[in-house]
């Protein structure tokens, strides 16, 4: 239960950050805050996965190096997503169509990379762990990611229409 509470707190902090930029906070301060929250979030994520995955010693020995590589790749993609959010915040609320098209292209490219990266690591994990544990890992990661994405969706303002309404 404590882990779930920590995730909720970190989730709220992480996704309130883009709004602080929209209110005029400097990019340097925002990036520093994001870095701090992401570091804490990463530690909590691994602890959560450790407790919930219930690996045997041989499974853990095979899984954790793969997990570290997975998280490094996913964190790089997370960096790219933060960049897109910062670029969006830089032009919000006046988001020209050309810029919106560029941001949309970046976002959809990131979505494809996320799916491809996750699928590749799940396939590799299937060679090291029983299928049920790989599925459990996929579920755990998905639940954490969905909670974070839901918070993001609720905190990042929708692009206004030309009439000024979202």
Give tens-digit pLDDT for 40-84: 667 788 889 999 999 999 999 999 999 999 999 998 998 898 888
Residue 14 belongs to a domain: yes
Q: What is the pLDDT of residue 130?
A: 98
**Per-residue tokens: 125:** 């994990």
Q: What is the pLDDT of residue 151?
A: 62
Domain that holds residue 72: 2-155
pLDDT 10s digits, 10-38:
444 444 444 444 445 555 665 666 666 66
Report d(CA 52, CA 148) in Å as an integer. 18
Report d(CA 162, CA 9) in Å as an integer. 35
Q: What is the pLDDT of residue 164?
A: 54
Count of the separate structural domains present in the chain: 1
Residue 165 belongs to a domain: no
Q: List all residues 6 or more positions away from 58 whose beta carbon is below 8 Å from its beta carbon.
A: none
Q: Average pLDDT in the 85-95 region?
A: 83
Indicate the SS3 state at residue 145. Answer: helix
Report d(CA 1, CA 92) in Å as an integer. 38
Q: What is the pLDDT of residue 166?
A: 55
């Amino acid at each position: 239960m404590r882990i779930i509470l920590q995730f909720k707190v970190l989730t709220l902090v992480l996704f309130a950050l883009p709004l602080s930029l929209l209110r005029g906070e400097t990019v340097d301060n925002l990036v520093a805050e994001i870095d701090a929250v992401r570091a804490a979030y990463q530690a909590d994520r691994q602890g959560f996965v450790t407790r919930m995955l219930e690996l045997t010693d041989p499974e853990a020995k095979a899984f954790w190096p793969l997990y570290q590589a997975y998280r490094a790749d996913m964190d790089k993609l997370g960096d790219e997503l933060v960049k897109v959010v910062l670029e969006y915040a830089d032009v919000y609320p006046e988001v020209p169509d050309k810029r919106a098209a560029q941001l949309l292209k970046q976002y959809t490219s990131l979505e494809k990379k996320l799916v491809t990266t996750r699928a590749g690591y799940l396939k590799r994990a299937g060679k090291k762990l029983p299928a049920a544990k790989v599925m459990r890992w996929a579920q755990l990661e998905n639940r954490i990611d969905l909670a974070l994405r839901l918070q993001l969706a609720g905190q990042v303002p929708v692009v206004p229409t030309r009439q000024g309404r979202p």
